[in-house]
Structure 1
Amino acid sequence: MTHQEKIDLLKKFAQAFNNHDIDTLMDCMTDDCIYDASSGAFEFGTRFEGQQAVRESFLGIFKVFPDAQWNNDIHFVDGNRGASQWYFTGTLEDGKKVEVNGNDLFHFKDGKIYIKDSYRKNRV
């Protein structure tokens, strides 16, 4: 994969998140993909491994935040690693709005995203 192809993949992935397009999201990821969520009981947050577990996790995000958007995205690539910065907005079922900065760190493998490691601010 060229540098530009990796950038294009991250842009496609970001757009699929904003469209809540689960099939395109999963097409961008390897069969043995890993998603490390930004929160959880472990030092890496909560880990989801494999297409089915990652799919269910992403669908869970869309259920909790039906209007979720990741805007102002900027993407960086260096070798087999990448990063995206974004501004998340979403509304919880109780009407509470969430607006935070965040980023994802990526590992690429076989022309796809192998690992998505998410970080976001926690407003208090």
Structure 2
Amino acid sequence: MSDSVVKMLEAFSAAWNAHDLDTLMALSTDDCEFWASAGPDELGTRYVGQQAVAGAYRALFDFYPDAQWTKGRLTLLGPDRALSEWTFVGTTLDGKRVEVLGLDVLDLVGEKVRIKNSYRKNRTA
């Protein structure tokens, strides 16, 4: 996989920690999708298109104003797929602290993210 794809994935990860919605969307295809780790459907909650995905990302940043994805590790699976492992840490608006292990399966088109399919542990403690 090209160095430019690796740099794009690193920039995508950095944009999450910076809460940089403009960069996240610039690094996503026009027909991008976000499959959230929770929701009523088999896929969790599915957001389709730039506007819907940006709204979902914005809501996450609003709910966890200090959100960070730490201990990141990228694994390239080929020209059109990558894994992004991370530990999510953040505090909800009502003061609940969250720290969980998670994973994104990223479908890629060229040097952009087409699908961000998120999985994360559900910690009870």
> Structure 2 length as normaliser, TM-score?
0.95
Query: Would you say how many aligned residue pairs link Structure 1 and Structure 2?
Result: 123
CA distance in 2, matches of 1:123, 1:101: 9
Equivalent position of 1:115 in the other structure: 115
* Percent sequence identity over aligned pairs: 46
In 2, Cα distance between equivalents of 1:29 and 1:123: 29
Tell me if the contact between 1:39 and 1:46 (Cα under 8 Å) persists in the aligned partners: yes
Give the AA of the match of 1:48: Y
1:19-30 matched pairs, under 5 angstroms: 19-30=18-29
RMSD: 0.9
Cα deviations across residues 70-91 of structure 1 (Å, max 9, x unaligned)? 0110001122110000010010
Distance in 2 (CA, whole Å) between partners of 1:75 and 1:110 is 17
- Does structure 2 conserve the Cα–Cα contact (< 8 Å) formed by 1:22 and 1:55? yes
After superposition, the C-alpha distances for 1:27-79 in whole angstroms (9 at most, x for unaligned) are: 01000001000000111100000000000000000000000000110001122
Gaps in structure 2 of 5+ consecutive residues: none
Runs of 4+ in 1 over 6 A off after TM superposition: none
Residue 83, structure 1, aligned to residue 78, structure 2? no
Q: Which amino acid aligns with 1:120?
A: R
CA distance in 2: counterparts of 1:3 and 1:101, whole angstroms: 28
Which SS does the other structure have where 2:24 is aligned? helix
1:45 counterpart residue number:
44
Per the alignment, residue 16 of structure 2 pairs with 17
The one-letter code matched in structure 2 to 1:83 is L
Opposite residue 70 of structure 1, the aligned amino acid is W
Letter in structure 1 aligned against 2:60: I
Contact 1:101 1:120 in 2 (8 A): yes
Q: Could you say which residue in structure 2 is the equivalent of 1:74? A: 73
Q: TM-score, normalised by structure 1?
A: 0.95
